[in-house]
Structure formats: structure tokens, C-alpha cells
A and B are shown apart, each in its own frame.
Chain A
Amino acid sequence: MIGVELRKQVRRLRTYIALGAMVVVPAIITTAFALGGRPHHHPGDPATAALVLFATRSGLNMPLAALSTMSPFLLVVVVALFGGETVAGEAGWGTLRYLLVRPVGRQRLLTAKLAIAGLLTVIATVLIVAVGLLAGTLAFGWHPVTIPGGIALPASTALVRLGISTLYVIWEMSGVLSFAFLLSVMTDSPIGATAGGIGLAIVSEILDGISALGSVRIGFPTHDWQAWNGLFVSPTQTSEMLRGALVQVPYVAVFLGVAWWWFGRKDILS
């Protein structure tokens, strides 16, 4: 079923467009920096801003800048699309009923759909990094990575940390993916499910910006999204990454648990 689902989802215009954006945007960012010169410092998260600030120092700096700028919104949109469209889209085509009559067990169907949505999420995130790395190396050469404080990380160390950061960003998307997936199971509207996934990230970001909420904010799914920046400061800071990774677990467990429970009992009327 996973193979069937993969063939169905990969050959879709929306997949081409979404993954295409993950290729084009890092290339555009790289080109802009290459043509426009060094980025200027601007107020905001100092670590994130610093990663963008050093983008032109090395080809290895570029994927960090791309990941830093794309993961909070563009990647979220794409991940919500992959999660929100998968079941609801099948219902919208009317093919969901035929799959279930085939018969494909409901749990097996959800497993396959979640696996492919997850795989596409991984591909999207890896594309950002890979294209950023390739374009950055072509534009700025292969040098040690410069991190805030002007410290140079050897390329091999930077690559390992870049890999860990990529895995972290992928995992941080799991809450949004799971929520969009849950909505996709509950509704026959792919647009609604996708918008719901994006909405979760937006609401979380807004609430996270309200300092009066105090320590409650660390429980929001987006609070530690950029904590991977801690791998590119000296000394490295990983406690927020660990917390951010753990915070996703209950969201994923609850959203997917409800999705499985709901779909097992749902009357298929589409």
C-alpha cells in the first residue's frame, strides 16, 4: 500500500510545486546574496539573524541561512499540505471508498498515508539543505563555517551538526503534520485541513510571543523550532533542542491517536 500511495502522491502537480519551491527558494536566496552582497544585520533573534548574517562566508553557511528563513513558514505550509491533503484529497476524489472496499484496512491505509506524508516532509526539508549547500558552495566556495563570535567550525563538524539540525527541523514539523493529518481524517476538505495545520503554527507563534504567558509558552509546539541554532554557537546549547523534541511527542501522540480512533469509526460518505 505504501508503494501504491507513493506512486499516487509523487506524480501530482501539488507535489511538484511544493518540492519545487524547496529547490527554487534556497537558490533564489543564494543568488540574491551572491549578487546583492553580504546581508545586513537586523534586529530579532540574535542567533538566527547571525546565521543569515554569515550566509556568504561559506557554502556551508548557506543551508543554515536557508533552513533558518524557510522552516518557520514556507516549510510549514508545505508540510501542512502534505498532511492535510492526503486523506481528505482521496475522499474528495471519491477513491477513498473504493480503497476501503478493495479492501484496504483502515489502519493500514492511514499508516501508508502518514508514511508518505512523512517521507515528503523529509524530502522537502532535505531539499532546502541540499540545494542551499550546493548553491552556496557554488557561489561562496567550500570553507569552514563561520558562527556567531567569528569562530570557524571545521567543515566536517559543521556537516554533522547540519545533519542533526535537519533531523531536528523534520521532527519539529511532526506536530503540524500530525494536526493537519488529523483534520484530513475528520474532514473531506483538503484545503480546510491544510489551513488548519498552518493555523496551528500561527496560533502557537502568536501565543508564544505573549510574554505574560510565562513558562506556559515552552509547551507550545513552535516555541523551540529554531533551537537547532544552539548547535552553531559557542559553546553549543542543546538543552532547548531536547526540550523542543520532547514537546512534540504529546502533540504527535494525541493528534495521531485521535486520527486513528476517529477514522476507525468514521462513516465514509464521500
Chain B
Amino acid sequence: MIAIIMASDVGSGTAPVILDHVTKHFGEVRAVNDLSFKVEAGHVVGLLGPNGAGKTTALRMLVGLVHPDAGHVTLFGEEVRPGTPALGKVGALIEGPAFVPHLSGRKNLDLYWKAGRKPLGDPAMEDALEVAGLGDAIERKVGGYSLGMRQRLGLAQALLGRPLLVVLDEPTNGLDPAQMREVREVVRAIAERGATVLLSSHLLAEVEQICSHVVVMDKGHLVTSGLVRDIVNSSGQAYVEVDDREHARSVLQALPTVTSVETEGAGLRVRTTGAHRGPLVAALVQAGLSVETVTTSEHLEDAFIRLVDGQAALETSAKARPQAAPSWTRPSDGDGGAAASRGNGGGQPG
């Protein structure tokens, strides 16, 4: 049940983030159940899941706020414990920004940094203030800030000192579209300088735009993980536009992996048993057709709903047949929901 992101073994190493068979209960409630995933340096990873999936608990365990009941959490190869030094390489915005209300934005950033006993140069502070983009308001008490201003200050705080790993929980919450775009650009800039980003968001279009990889959770479990494009492509659906639609239909229907071909707009929607569009293109070209467009017909949002719904159906089925041994938690069992996590070092080839 180990999900793989550019690695075959989450149990060891110095990757920025490793969660290895981590479980956490709150009373009777199992918030996280045997969760494993790994985030390699330089990746921008989206952590997705419906409400109650266990995302925030997983992030809290990652930064040492919550103790796992079982399993191991490591940051840069160091086992996470309260106050573990590796946390000094982490900037975080978890469950919303929070500040001392009677102090100014600048004072909050200053005291936050000084609490860590490390000097912060003026350029680093200026970088953070630029991210916050609060102008003169940075000198005002935080208690009077709007949600958007607090969110931007929270993001600036997470980026103070140029951390190697940035953990962002709903970073665009409370921001307007223009500010959301700015945040996306900030996240891209973080990735470009080689830092790693683990980002939790309900805005799947946003995740699709800025993340290279995703980890999908539901009810404390890992559902799947891998490259965004592999997750999106894993539906086995494609949209094809060619110069001769009817000829193409007959060519595609003859392929053993194609299960259905339907007309959609100016093209064809093709359903296959595989996740790859390469064989479709090859067959069409071989038949002398001119291929205008081949795209996946899904977005991340469609894939997410399909995966989570598929997971729920699997669980219902498992409850109905308790003797059934395999479960969705074993990606290698071949259920559709975990297709992208059948690791080959980076998800399935696209």
C-alpha cells in the first residue's frame, strides 16, 4: 500500500517528506489509516481529498504537531518529533493564518522568526513583505486585517527564510482571483528555486495548474498518488479529432483496448481499457488519417471524483463481502482507483 512518487521505497532516505505506514486515531475515530507517501525534492505535490479525508491531520503529523499512533514521519531523513531541527527547513501555512492580533504584521513576522533563534537578514524580510504585498498596512495591527490580508501575511510567514519545504494548506482561501493567480506564481517561483511544495487545496483546477504530482486521500486512506497527468489520463478516456471521423471510428473500434467510440462535437470520445493515448494515435496514423487533436477528456476534478467515488464503491462492496481479501489499499491489486500509484518510478508512462 505504498504510494510512490519518484521512488520505490518510502521507508528510508533523505527525501523532504516521507510518511511510512502512518496511523492516527482521535478517540474512536481513525483520522489517518496506514498512510504512506513520499515527496521528492523539487516536486510540487497536491494533497487532495474531500472534507474529513485526513489531509490536515497528515500535515499536522508531518510538522510534529500531532503524534502518530503508528508509523514513521521523516523530514529530510530526520524522524519528526516535537521541535525536531529539520522543521527549521520547513515553512508552513496550516489551517489558516494565525497571528498575535495586537501586533503589526511586520512585528508578527519579526517575532515569529526570532523565536527560532536564527538571524534573518533584511533581504529575506523584504522578500516576505513583497509576497505579503500589504504596503503600509504591514505596520498596522493584524487584528484589523481582512481575511485576504491575513492569508497573504500567512503565506509570507511560510516563505520567510526561504525554506526548503513549503507546506501550504488551502493557500488561496479568502483571496480574489487576481491574488489567487499571484499565489500560483509564488508557488511556481518557489519550485523554480528548487524548493519542494506540499499543497492541500479544494480547488482542483488550481492544483492541476501548479502541481506536478498529487496524493489523493479519502477517509484517512491513500487512494492514489502519482503524476498529475497520469492521474488525469488514468480514466481511459480520450477525445480525438481527425479529418475523416467515420473512418476513424471503424479503425478505433477494431482496436482490442477500445471499449466504445461515441460522437462528441466535431470529434470522437473514445473509452479504452488502458490509460494511454499512444496506441490510438498510432492506429489512426497507420490508417492514413490526419490527427488534428488528441486530448484526455478529463480534468483533475473529474479524475478526483471518479477516484473517490470508486473508492467508496469498493468499500461498500468490501463491506457486503467481508471475506474478500484484497482491498483498495493495495495498489498492485489492479483496481482502477489506484492505477497511477502502481509505481514505475514516476507513475505510468504517459
Contacts and interface: CB of A to CB of B under 8 A. Distances in A.
Contact of A103 (B88, B97, B102, B111): B88
Interface stretch (A8-16, A46-54, A225-233): A8-16
Contacts of A13: 102
Given A100-B83, A103-B88, A104-B83, A4 B67 contact: no
B299 interface: no
Q: Which of A3, A102, A106, A108 has the most CB of B within 10 A?
A: A102
A104 B64 CA distance: 11
A160 interface: no
A98 B102 contact: no
A268 B94 CA distance: 12
Given A101-B63, A106-B82, A269-B66, A8 B87 contact: no
A4 B115 contact: yes
A103 B99 contact: no
Contact of A94 (B60, B87, B88, B96): B96
Contacts, number: 85
B66 A8 contact: no
Main secondary structure of the interface of B (DSSP, over half): loop
B85 interface: yes
Interface string B297-330: 0000000000000000000000000000000000
Nearest to B83: A105
A186 B96 CA distance: 23
Interface residues of A, number: 28
B84 interface: yes
Given A8-B111, A11-B102, A98-B112, 15 more contacts: A3-B114, A4-B115, A7-B111, A93-B98, A93-B100, A93-B101, A94-B95, A97-B94, A98-B92, A100-B65, A101-B64, A102-B112, A105-B82, A268-B60, A269-B65
8 contacts: A95-B98, A97-B95, A98-B98, A101-B94, A102-B113, A103-B88, A108-B83, A268-B66
Interface of A: 1, 3-4, 7-8, 11-13, 93-95, 97-108, 264-265, 267-269
Interface of B: 26, 60, 63-67, 82-85, 87-88, 90, 92, 94-103, 107, 111-117, 157
Q: Name the 5 nearest CB pairs between A and B, nearest first.
A: A94-B98, A105-B83, A103-B87, A268-B65, A102-B116
